Amino acid sequence: MIALSTVKELLQSFGYQQSESSSAMIRLKVEEVAKAKGVSMRQLAKRSGLVYNTIRLIYRNPYRPLSTITLDKLAKALEVDASVLIESVPDDEKEAQ
């Protein structure tokens, strides 16, 4: 096994810096946008070509990692720009939920 400190050193050697001061996270606004447009989870799954369970997981945890491909499918299904589906929120706001 590789030690965690070794992985961090390796990442730093490639220029990756984990910012301690970075206190923002990305939150998905898929549920809010879909509801505003009157689109149910089933309709969104059908329109986007995504599995219903994926939509359900996004609704349950709007902070979950999501590929840009999935984000694009959701944006097209909701007929909005992908930027409408995401927002930057402080870390402490996520912890409060």
Tell me the domains of the chain and their CATH numbers: 23-96 (1.10.260.40)
Between CA 75 and CA 92 the distance in angstroms is 27
Residue 80 CA: distances (Å) to CA of 26, 30, 57, 58, 73 = 18, 10, 21, 17, 10
For residues 61, 66, 72, 74, the Cα torsion angle rounded to the nearest 10 degrees is -20
| Residues 46-63: tens digit of each pLDDT | 999 999 999 999 999 999
C-alpha angle 27-28-34 in degrees, rounded to nearest 5 = 150
| Residues 61-93: tens digit of each pLDDT | 999 998 999 999 999 999 999 999 999 888 765
Give percent of the chain above pLDDT 90. 61
Which pTM does this prediction carry? 0.70
